[in-house]
Amino acid sequence: QRLLEAYLARYDEMAQVISREIGAPAKLAHAWQAGLGKRHIEETLRTVEHFPWQRKKGTTLINHEPVGVAALITPWNWPINQIVCKVAPALAAGCTVVLKPSEVSPMNAVLFAEIMHAAGVPKGVFNLVNGDGPSVGAALSAHPDVDMVSFTGSTRAGIEIAKLAAPTVKRVHQELGGKSANILLDDVDLEAAVTAGVNACFSNSGQSCNAPTRMLVPASRHDEAVGIALRAAGRHRVGPAGDPATTMGPVVSDVQFGRVQRLIDIGIEEGASLVTGGPGRPDGFERGYYVKPTVFANVHPSMTIAREEIFGPVLAIMPYRDEEDAIAIANDTPYGLAAYVQSKDQERARRVAMKMRAGSVYVNYP
């Protein structure tokens, strides 16, 4: 409860820091980036009030104990969201933690450390260590005194963490890459579903691991969906994070900008139909990591932009023949983080969701 109070006392500052660090538009940073930190603390409070720390089952006593020292390694794209959704439950469970935030967006974590101090968290219970993955992240993952590693980030880094943790038999919990399919079934309100799908893909400049970046539409309605997506993309305004008119800020870094540009070029080279956007900065921007809101159509499952996580505002629209074909395309990916299904019939959507190999399936944009 004291942590929640201390967080709220610096809420506006947290939103401003995140906006400046990663380029998130001010409204997004305030309502969602900082807002999710608040909500995770509130949800942890609600959970611990009713959590059965100890319960009996027949003559068996089941006792929930803290796992021990938890190393928490977090990404830059939703930074305080990922920090708090790890730290708050760990503290509630009685674990001590060592947090290593992303070196790309470290300042919100420093502010969070000040918030933890203000809340009166005992010394040594919360520890912040800054640094990059190959040095600090690797050291924590291999350290014999660390009992658990919780990591959110790329699949490549996750594999290395699992290898490093194996010799000391740590518990490892990971949230890795995504190339989430968004199946629009043939009974859907296409205007509403495509528009919401474009906006979800472009949110946070496309820098969300669970973004619905592959939009699967019935082949007979492909061109109609493309027209709707074109209109929806055109309503986005790229600009500086502090401009109230901005709906899409820059991507986070030169490295990220270069990666997104390279994959857009590959999409064109491999024959996908460029509907809007494309390579280069938007008109009026000579500098900065600004990316054009980009939509590709007629994307085949074998194309690079259908298979690699782009982590930018790039949507791939993919036609399918029937429901089974859509499910097969959706599951044809090395990633498994999230998926989406849209239908006027919720039970039908749930039946499709049950066949999708993904950690989370979102039905009708909850």
Which CATH number characterizes residue 343's domain?
Answer: 3.40.309.10
- Is the model's pTM score more than 0.85? yes
- pLDDT recorded at residue 17: 98
Q: What are phi and psi of 173, to 5 degrees?
A: -125, 125
Domain stop point among 175, 202, 237: 175
- pLDDT recorded at residue 335: 92
Q: Are residues 201 and 345 in the same domain?
A: yes
Sort 288 into a burial class: Cβ within 10 Å, 0-12 / 13-18 / 19+: middle
User: Active-site residue among 95, 175, 201, 309?
Assistant: 175
Q: Which two tokens stand for residue 161?
A: 């963490």
Q: Which two tokens stand for residue 1?
A: 């409860």
175 is catalytic: yes
Q: Are residues 186 and 142 in the same domain?
A: no
Domain stop point among 125, 157, 175: 175
- pLDDT recorded at residue 110: 98
Q: Are residues 353 and 205 in the same domain?
A: yes
Q: Are residues 64 and 191 in the same domain?
A: no
- Alpha helices by DSSP H, listed for the chain, are 2-9, 11-22, 26-28, 34-50, 79-93, 107-118, 138-142, 155-165, 190-202, 222-234, 254-269, 304-307, 323-331, 346-354
Question: Locate tokens 């038999």: which residue?
Answer: 169
Q: Are residues 153 and 185 in the same domain?
A: no
Query: 342, 183 in Cβ contact below 8 A?
Result: yes
- pLDDT recorded at residue 88: 97
Q: Are residues 331 and 271 in the same domain?
A: yes
Domain ranges, residue 345? 181-363
Q: Are residues 133 and 255 in the same domain?
A: no
CATH of the domain at 154: 3.40.605.10
Q: Are residues 309 and 256 in the same domain?
A: yes
Crossing angle (nearest 10°) for helices 346-354 and 323-331: 40
- pLDDT recorded at residue 355: 98
Q: Which residues of the chain have pLDDT under 50?
A: none
Q: Are residues 265 and 157 in the same domain?
A: no
> What is the rounded distance in angstroms from the CA atom of residue 149 to the CA atom of residue 69?
9
- pLDDT recorded at residue 329: 98
- pLDDT recorded at residue 172: 97
User: Active-site residue among 209, 270, 308, 347?
Assistant: 209
Domain stop point among 123, 142, 175: 175
- pLDDT recorded at residue 366: 87
> What is the rounded distance in angstroms from the CA atom of residue 86 to the CA atom of residue 79?
11
- pLDDT recorded at residue 363: 97
209 is catalytic: yes
DSSP state of 167: G
**SS3 of residue 316 by DSSP:** strand
Count of the separate structural domains present in the chain: 2
Q: Are residues 155 and 94 in the same domain?
A: yes
**SS3 of residue 129 by DSSP:** coil
Q: Are residues 248 and 334 in the same domain?
A: yes
Q: Which two tokens stand for residue 317?
A: 């629209």
Q: Are residues 163 and 185 in the same domain?
A: no
